[in-house]
Amino acid sequence: MLEADARERIMVALDCDRERALELGDLLSGRARWVKIGMTLFYAEGPAIVRAFKERGFKVFLDLKFHDIPHQVRGAARSAAFTGADLLTVHGLGAGDMLAAACEGAREAAEATGAERARVIAITVLTSMNAEALASIGVTDDIASEAQRLATLARERGVDGVVCSPQEAHAMRELLGEDALVVTPGVRPAGAAFGDQSRVATPASAIAQGASHLVIGRPITGANDPAEAFEAIVTELVQMA
């Protein structure tokens, strides 16, 4: 893998406050291409934090996991896309009309601004969940089957790809094709702590399984030298067979 491609594959998760997020942005400027802004940071700072990173030259994965009635999700996706975010998430469990509404909201924002449309990906099964957790909410299928079912539904309703664990990435790639986004949280370099993730893999393994992008937070943002930690992952991807 070329170095530029490796940098494009890594999304640095900024689950922290504004001051630390911007500090990390400065440390990773010129190295990382993507940052992920989730609920913790966005709910504290609002659209301004997305714009701050866009102004610094980053692509932004705005991970708010929309899940509501279609009318609300359409409006939420439109509003989120107006911030300049490049990628949005919606829960696959919200069913077909809601998934289609998220895509429509993103299209409406693009038409209004003339900007490139924010892409929309569907959450399949959260990487913090295991079989027991899935059963506790009444899902009797195994994780792989549930992820594939939700991915098929998302594809049918115009969604650009999925979020899944590295363990499901190969099946998602085969199911959705080469152009789909397959974004995998739960990626941990060798020796890193799992934290609250249940289904994990190393960066090289996740890419080999079919992931298009890797969401990596604490192994980079919690490192003594975040830039060095980021570069180590880039090296791992460049050197993968």
Per-residue model confidence (pLDDT) at position 240: 81
The whole-number average pLDDT for the span 174-178 is 96
Total-model pTM: 0.92
pLDDT tier at 140 (50, 70, 90 boundaries)? confident
Instruction: State how far the alpha carbon of 49 is from the alpha carbons of 17, 18, 103, 185, in Å.
Output: 10, 8, 23, 22
* Rounded-to-integer distance, Cα 82 and Cα 109, Å: 6
Per-residue model confidence (pLDDT) at position 194: 45
Diameter of the chain measured on Cα atoms: 47
Name which of 51, 99, 100, 106 is nearest 77 in CA terms.
106
Examine the pLDDT at 24 and tell me if it is beyond 90.
yes
Question: What letter does residue 187 receive in the DSSP assignment?
Answer: B
pLDDT tens-digit readout, 180-236: 999 999 888 765 544 544 456 899 999 999 999 999 999 999 999 999 999 999 999
* Rounded-to-integer distance, Cα 136 and Cα 238, Å: 40
* Rounded-to-integer distance, Cα 111 and Cα 134, Å: 39
What phi and psi, each to the nearest 5 degrees, are found at residue 36? -110, 125
pLDDT tier at 238 (50, 70, 90 boundaries)? very high
Per-residue model confidence (pLDDT) at position 127: 80
Q: Which residues fall within 8 angstroms of residue 10, CB to CB, at 6 or more apart?
A: 32, 33, 34, 203, 213, 214, 216, 230, 233, 234, 237
Per-residue model confidence (pLDDT) at position 42: 98
Residue type, 63: D
Which of 40-49, 91-100, 134-143, 193-202 is least confident? 193-202
Per-residue model confidence (pLDDT) at position 192: 52
Per-residue model confidence (pLDDT) at position 5: 95
pLDDT tens-digit readout, 142-163: 899 999 999 999 999 999 999 9
Take residue 79 and report the two structure tokens written for it. 């509003």
Mean per-residue pLDDT over the chain, rounded = 93
User: How many C-beta neighbours within 10 Å does residue 24 have?
Assistant: 20
The whole-number average pLDDT for the span 25-53 is 97
Options 36, 54, 59, 65, the catalytic residue? 65
Per-residue model confidence (pLDDT) at position 197: 46
Per-residue model confidence (pLDDT) at position 124: 94
Give CA 132 to chain center in angstroms. Answer: 24
Question: Cβ(236)–Cβ(214) under 8 Å?
Answer: no
The whole-number average pLDDT for the span 162-177 is 94
The whole-number average pLDDT for the span 90-113 is 97
Given CA atoms 122, 161, 16, 216 in this order, what sign does their dihedral have?
A: positive
* Pair type for strands 59-66 and 119-123: unpaired
User: How many C-beta neighbours within 10 Å does residue 39 have?
Assistant: 12
Examine the pLDDT at 63 and tell me if it is beyond 90.
yes
Per-residue model confidence (pLDDT) at position 43: 97
Annotated active-site residue 59? The verdict is no
